[in-house]
Chains A and B, each alone.
Chain A
Amino acid sequence: MEDLTIDDLDNISTGSDDHVQITPAEVIEMMEEAWTNEKFAPEILPNKSEIVDIILDQITTMEENIKKLSSSDFTKSIYQLEVDRLRFLVSSYLRTRLEKIETYVIHILKEEEKRVERGSEKYLTEQEFEFAKEFSFTMEQYFDKMMRFYPGVPADTWSNKIIQPNNNTFVFLKSKKRIEGVPIDEGNAESDLVDIQDGSRVIISYNSVAELVKNGDVHLI
């Protein structure tokens, strides 16, 4: 199997400038993790477009190769099956993100704007950002038009009610290393701290572990 050399994968490498050798199998593993994280996290997570792109490339190459196989070859179905599985993984991941964008569009755009102002890493990809803007524009237009039918209702009532993800929600996670002093969010000012062992599984408020999910120390399950 050929190893891929990936230069621009800073956020999943150890932060060194060296070329990181990552096998496609490892990329698939990262994709699966990104998928479950995205599924269980209440808010939208930083995008993993590098991983998605690598997998899509692999799929395209593999599909070219599959075309060359004769249809009597029984291994063809296995190759095809793998491609289908990966395609499912990627589309389910992207669809989960789109669902979140549609639900929390105003909130997500606001947060993204703040991130741009701060100069920190963007969460949405270019295309997702484009989609979010168009979606919110169309929604605003729609609501404005609808509101004309109800003259009694102040026109901007709906725009003050922003749907936000519930980041207090509870999630199950698996830890990838020993983490000390994770606060247990009980809604009090003072909270108990807990140490999470390497490989252990816990249920905890998403708020307490949001950063750990984003930097990859824990994995939502």
Chain B
Amino acid sequence: MDPDELEFLGEKVYVSIIPTFNNDGIHLISGDLGPFRASLPVNVPLWVAVSLKRQKKCKIQPPDWMDMQKLEYIKEQEKQSSGFTKMPSDHYMVEAKLLLECAPDDIPRADEVRTIIKDIWDIRMSKIRSSVTKLVKNSDFYAAVDNLTVMEINSVRPILPHALDHLFRMKNTEKTRPTQSSNVSSFLLSKRASTSFHLSPVTSSNTED
């Protein structure tokens, strides 16, 4: 999936804004927003917040987790844990990207926040890479990915599903054509014998292929 499409899904998350205008409410198809009273916080979907912010009609209150102390803690946890820790939001990358882009002035220590979120992402990505390698090496056809966020899952697509597809096909071909592969192995064995390479016993012909 295109990252933009994931962003589209992530933009539904609610954030708190402090409007600078008065309005009796916006009645959207997806539900009513407001009423808006200047300087009273109100919850709106991220896409509304971004749009209002661009029109300079509100201040955005960053989500609880977008705070250096909390992020330091998350990073430390992520470093120490061998598995994946639960992220505060399923769309943390989308939220971070949009809010840091359009409202850096509303986020305390925005630059540090940006760096630390990138650090957390990098730690998780390197874990993902090593688990993918492990999965493919074991040729497991099932894995739980509970604490991965959608953006992270998307980052291993299409390579991981494709790799598993190929493994699956190879495994199936092995199963359906046992006679052929045994012919091949006996052929290889006889070849070896005739050229008198019988110093080490051949255990698996597949590796010689």
Contact = CB atoms under 8 A, between A and B. Distances in A.
Chain A's interface size range is: 35 or more
Interface residues of B, number: 38
Given A170-B165, A202-B143, A202-B145, A82 B9 contact: no
Which 3 A/B pairs are nearest by Cβ-Cβ distance? A170-B161, A187-B172, A170-B164
Nearest to B139: A186
Given A171-B161, A187-B172, A79 B142 contact: no
A82 B169 CA distance: 44
19 contacts: A24-B29, A24-B30, A25-B30, A36-B1, A40-B1, A74-B21, A82-B30, A85-B8, A86-B29, A88-B8, A166-B165, A169-B161, A172-B153, A187-B171, A201-B146, A201-B148, A202-B145, A203-B145, A205-B141
B55 interface: yes
Which of B21, B32, B150 lies at the interface centre, i.e. has the most chain A CB atoms within 10 A of its CB?
A: B150
Contacts of A78: 26, 28, 48, 51-52
Interface in A77-110: 77-79, 81-83, 85-86, 88-89, 92
Contact of B28 (A36, A82, A186): A82
B177 interface: no
Interface string B53-81: 00101000000000000000000000000
A169 B69 CA distance: 42
Interface string B15-33: 0000001010011111110
Interface of A: 1, 23-25, 28, 32, 36, 39-40, 58-59, 62, 74-75, 77-79, 81-83, 85-86, 88-89, 92, 166, 168-172, 184-188, 192, 194, 200-205, 221
B47 interface: yes
Nearest to A200: B146
Interface of B: 1, 5, 8-9, 21, 23, 26-32, 47-48, 51-52, 55, 57, 141-146, 148, 150, 153, 157, 160-161, 164-165, 168-169, 171-172, 175
Which of B21, B142, B168, B172 lies at the interface centre, i.e. has the most chain A CB atoms within 10 A of its CB?
A: B142
A201 B153 contact: yes
Nearest to B175: A187
Nearest to A188: B175
A92 B57 CA distance: 31
